[in-house]
Amino acid sequence: MAELVEKSLNFIEEIIEHDLEIGKHKTIITRFPPEPNGYLHIGHAKSICLNFGLALKYGGKTNLRFDDTNPTKEDIEYVDSIREDVKWLIEEMPMEWSEERYASDYFQTIYDLTVKLIQKGLAYVDHSTAEQMAVSKGTPTQAGTNSPYRDRSVEENLALFEQMKSGSLPDGTCVLRAKIDMASPNMHMRDPVIYRIKHAHHHQTGDDWCIYPMYDYAHPISDAIENITHSICTLEFEVHRPLYDWTIKNLELFPSRQIEFARLNLTYTIMSKRKLLQLVTEGVVNGWDDPRMPTISGLRRRGYTPAALREFANRIGIAKRDNIIDVGLLEFCVREDLNKKAQRVMAVLNPLKVVLTNYTEGVTETVEIENNPEDPNGGKRLVPFGREIWIEREDFMENPPKGYHRLTPDGYFRLKGAYIIKHVETIKNTEGGIEELRCEYIPTSKSGQDQSGIKVKGVGHWVNVATAATAECRIYDRLFTVEAPDGDKEKSFMDYLNPNSLTVLDTIYVEPSVKDLAVNDRVQFLRHGYFAVDKDSTDTKLVFNRTVTLKDSWKPA
Ligand code: ATP
Ligand code: MG
């Protein structure tokens, strides 16, 4: 079934192949057009994989274009983060963007084209107030009424538009509107505003402009200037398409074609930049790249690989209707990828000390353990072993239930890659809590050369006390407690925050091989899951983020 899906074309590929077949285009050019008003999220990752993936498949090109028509909401910090995130995601595809463009590169061209539009009698300056415009716009079931300024002469409109540009008019004095049809059943065609006055500093054009084109108008022009053949966007723009086509037709531009697909929605996740910004500004998370965020930078910091995100995008495919994807599928994809790639390491998160009373004091030996059973070329590493060992508290029980196969009073237990140990004594503190275990190791039971004849069911990971690396460990849970945090009209997504989305373990013990890891490196902690080195790590203390557990909650349908 999976193969069948891969082989059949999705509807966008069908359109592209048809266009190439009939010779409408010799090659294709797509673009990824983020507005730099926030960090990219996993939904954008889907769009990036789609646009770059199509260009790769058909030997075409993709531009990275910043749709920066709204200077008050945008920032250079966002431009930089977007560039970095796209680069990271496509690095191994192998793919690069053909050009880095900005809608603001075209402000002069858009202005000149707009003068042409006015000369054609297809745009007018409107001095109505915002309220008057809202009223005259009508409703979806009731036609709008023409503005009293609609029939201004071309000369008057040209002069007024020039005046708008000159900077002498305050914000909101008037707007430029396309002259289309106030009775159109499509509200977006009822003389939409195409330019507004905004005395705002722009991160690319500085103070050159005080009028800015509206997104719906600048977008088709930018696409056409770049000869974009297939302009792919999300479904909510379907109703904007007539305006897209109107703009291209009336300005006599390259015939870029807009194609819509369903935006990605994920369970337990919000996906709008505006809402993600609120999480950041209200301090719910520690910045845009907090590992709980569904941003590309958050996922990267959490330990996600570009390959896992691309595989995820690939698996969900392209839909024409809105749907919601189980976040478990995303976790499944990263688990699959890291299972192949991540070196195995032993780490004790909830430590209990074991003293091997018959092991010589002050001696450290090394045992050999394989790095990755999934990777035949993964090799082995030497792990130090000695008289004092950390094991997980969960690996010892005084009064074990039936079927418990780990260490119990007087019982045996194998330390992975090392020896079988036998429990001798439990040391308790004054409150009755277990402080430490005394055990004996069985010298003839060394892994790979076991001659002890003792059968044990339980095997556990461990860390040698004398050589352990200490680290901080951050365990993440879902940021929201419900599947659809913004699906409720009465309540805000802020009402569904999970108070336990972050648990910090101050001190965990890890085998010393991790001392060589660098920020963003990923490992598997045996039996615990996959972990990535956080940028908060210092020379003296490593910080690990749990990417995902080993257990799979998602099952392929
Ligand atoms: P948001 O509503 O989250 O702020 P946006 O659509 O306003 O997103 P843009 O920066 O305008 O963000 O989006 C850049 C591109 O990414 C657009 O082509 C947009 O359609 C696409 N995109 C945005 N969100 C998603 C999503 N959830 N799934 C798929 N594509 C998306
Ligand atoms: Mg937007």
**Which CATH number characterizes residue 160's domain?**
3.90.800.10
Q: How far is the CA of 45 from the centre of ligand 1 (A)?
A: 9
Q: Is residue 272 in contact with ligand 1, taking CB distance under 6 Å?
A: yes
Q: Does residue 193 form part of some domain?
A: yes
Ligand 1 atom nearest 264 alpha carbon: 28
| Rounded distance between C-alpha atoms, residue 538 and residue 16, angstroms | 50
Residue 167 and residue 205 share a domain: yes
Residue 115 and residue 192 share a domain: yes
Residue 354 and residue 322 share a domain: no
Q: Please name the residue whose Cα sits nearest to atom 9 of ligand 1.
A: 34
Quickly tell me which residue has 């992975």 as its tokens.
Answer: 416
Average pLDDT, the chain: 96
End residue of a domain, out of 420, 436, 464:
464
Q: How far is the CA of 502 from the centre of ligand 1 (A)?
A: 28
Active site residue 275: no
Burial (CB count <10 Å: 0-12, 13-18, 19+), residue 235: middle
Residue 212 near residue 71 (C-beta atoms within 8 A): yes
End residue of a domain, out of 189, 214, 239:
214
Residue 157 and residue 98 share a domain: no
Residue 360 and residue 432 share a domain: yes
Q: Identify the CA nearest to 192 among candidates 158, 165, 219.
A: 219
Q: What pLDDT is stored for residue 93 in this prediction?
A: 86
Ligand 1 atom nearest 276 alpha carbon: 3
Ligand 1 atom nearest 271 alpha carbon: 3
Q: What is the pLDDT of residues 27-86, one digit of tens each?
A: 999 999 999 999 999 999 999 999 999 999 999 999 999 999 999 999 999 999 999 999
Q: Identify the CA nearest to 114 among candidates 184, 240, 217, 191.
A: 217
Q: What is the pLDDT of residues 181-218, one digit of tens each?
A: 999 999 999 999 999 999 999 999 999 999 999 999 99
Residue 231 and residue 319 share a domain: yes
Q: Does residue 554 form part of some domain?
A: no
Residue 219 near residue 244 (C-beta atoms within 8 A): yes
Q: How far is the CA of 271 from the centre of ligand 1 (A)?
A: 9
Residues comprising the chain, all counted: 557
Q: What pLDDT is stored for residue 2 in this prediction?
A: 46
73, 150, 165, 263: the catalytic one is 263
Residue 442 and residue 295 share a domain: no
| Rounded distance between C-alpha atoms, residue 250 and residue 465, angstroms | 76
Q: What pLDDT is stored for residue 376 in this prediction?
A: 86
Q: Which tokens sit at 435?
A: 């402080």
Q: Is residue 34 in contact with ligand 1, taking CB distance under 6 Å?
A: yes
Residue 185 and residue 125 share a domain: yes
Q: Identify the CA nearest to 49 among candidates 3, 95, 2.
A: 95
The count of domains in the chain is: 4
Q: Does residue 340 form part of some domain?
A: no
Provide the β-strand partners of residue 257.
230
Cα distance between the two ends of the chain: 11
Residue 210 and residue 85 share a domain: no
Q: Does residue 90 form part of some domain?
A: yes
Residue 210 and residue 223 share a domain: no
Q: What pLDDT is stored for residue 7 in this prediction?
A: 61
Per-residue burial over 95-134, b if 16 or more Cβ lie within 10 Å, else e, is bebbeebbbbbbbeebbebbeebbeeebbbbbebeeeebe
The pick from 52, 69, 234, 265 for probing ligand 1's pocket by mutation, whose C-beta has the most ligand atoms within 8 angstroms, reads 234
Q: Which tokens sit at 329?
A: 């599928």
Q: How far is the CA of 543 from the centre of ligand 1 (A)?
A: 32
- Residues of the chain scoring pLDDT < 70: 1-7, 553-557
Ligand 1 atom nearest 237 alpha carbon: 20
Residue 534 and residue 432 share a domain: no
CATH of the domain at 478: 2.40.240.10
Q: Identify the CA nearest to 54 among candidates 23, 25, 83, 84.
A: 25
Q: What is the pLDDT of residues 129-167, one digit of tens each?
A: 999 999 999 999 999 999 999 999 999 999 999 999 999
* Domain interval for residue 504: 469-548
Q: What pLDDT is stored for residue 328 in this prediction?
A: 96
Q: Is residue 273 in contact with ligand 1, taking CB distance under 6 Å?
A: yes
End residue of a domain, out of 276, 297, 331:
331
Give this prediction's pTM.
Answer: 0.94
Residue 123 near residue 179 (C-beta atoms within 8 A): yes
Active site residue 35: yes
Q: Please name the residue whose Cα sits nearest to atom 17 of ligand 1.
A: 233
Residue 246 and residue 188 share a domain: no
Q: Does residue 342 form part of some domain?
A: no
Provide the β-strand partners of residue 78.
none
Q: What pLDDT is stored for residue 3 in this prediction?
A: 46
Q: Which tokens sit at 460?
A: 């556990």
Q: Please name the residue whose Cα sits nearest to atom 10 of ligand 1.
A: 34
Active site residue 263: yes
Q: What pLDDT is stored for residue 551 in this prediction?
A: 86
H/E element, 516: none
Would the CA dihedral through 148, 154, 159, 160 be positive or negative?
A: positive
Q: Identify the CA nearest to 360 among candidates 390, 389, 387.
A: 387
